[in-house]
Structure 1
Amino acid sequence: MRLFVALELPHDARARLARLGTSMLGARWLPPENLHLTLRFLGEMPGHRAEELDGALAALRGRGFTLHISGVGVLEKAGRPQALWAGIERNPQLDHLQAKIETAVQRVGFEPERRRFNPHVTVARLDNASPLKLAEWVQANNLLRADPVDVEHFTLFSSRLGKDGAVYTAEVEYGLA
Structure 2
Amino acid sequence: MPRLFTALEIPREQALSLSLLRGGLPGARWIDVENYHITLRFIGDVDFRTADEVVHWLDRIERPSFSVRLSGTGSFGSKKPHALWAGVPYVPELYALQGEIERICQRIGLGADPRKFTPHVTLARLRGSKLADVADYLSARGNFQTMPFKVNRFVLLSSRDSVGGGPYRVEEAFDLTDEDRYESLDMSDWQPATSMS
TM-score (norm 1): 0.95
Contact 2:32-2:165 within 8 A present in 1 as well? no
Contact 1:155-1:170 within 8 A present in 2 as well? yes
Question: Once the two structures are aligned, what percentage of the paired residues are identical?
Answer: 37
Corresponding residue number in structure 2 for 1:123: 123
Corresponding residue number in structure 1 for 2:44: 43
How big is the shift at 1:34? 0.8
AA in 2 matched with 1:171: E
SS at match of 1:173: strand
> Is structure 2 residue 44 aligned with structure 1 residue 66?
no
Alpha-carbon distance in structure 2 between the residues aligned to 1:92 and 1:24? 34
Corresponding residue number in structure 2 for 1:168: 168
Alpha-carbon distance in structure 2 between the residues aligned to 1:5 and 1:55? 14
Deviates more, 1:42-51 or 1:68-77: 68-77
Contact 1:16-1:146 within 8 A present in 2 as well? yes
Contact 2:153-2:173 within 8 A present in 1 as well? yes
Q: How many residues align?
A: 176
Corresponding residue number in structure 1 for 2:181: none
SS at match of 1:49: helix
Change (3 A) 1:2 1:84: same
SS at match of 2:145: coil
Contact 2:24-2:137 within 8 A present in 1 as well? no
Alpha-carbon distance in structure 2 between the residues aligned to 1:163 and 1:173? 25
Deviates more, 1:164-173 or 1:120-129: 164-173
Alpha-carbon distance in structure 1 between the residues aligned to 2:173 and 2:166? 20
How big is the shift at 1:53? 0.5
AA in 2 matched with 1:148: P
Change (3 A) 1:165 1:68: closer
Structure 2, unaligned runs of 5 or more = 178-197
Corresponding residue number in structure 1 for 2:9: 8
Write the deviation string for residues 99-145 of structure 1: whole angstroms up to 9, x where unpaired.
01101111111111111111111100000102222111101110011
Corresponding residue number in structure 1 for 2:184: none
AA in 1 matched with 2:105: V
Aligned-residue RMSD, C-alpha: 1.4
Deviates more, 1:61-70 or 1:23-32: 23-32
How big is the shift at 1:163? 7.6
Structure 1, unaligned runs of 5 or more = none
> Is structure 2 residue 41 aligned with structure 1 residue 57?
no
Contact 1:161-1:167 within 8 A present in 2 as well? no
Corresponding residue number in structure 2 for 1:138: 138
Point out the structure with the larger strand share. 1
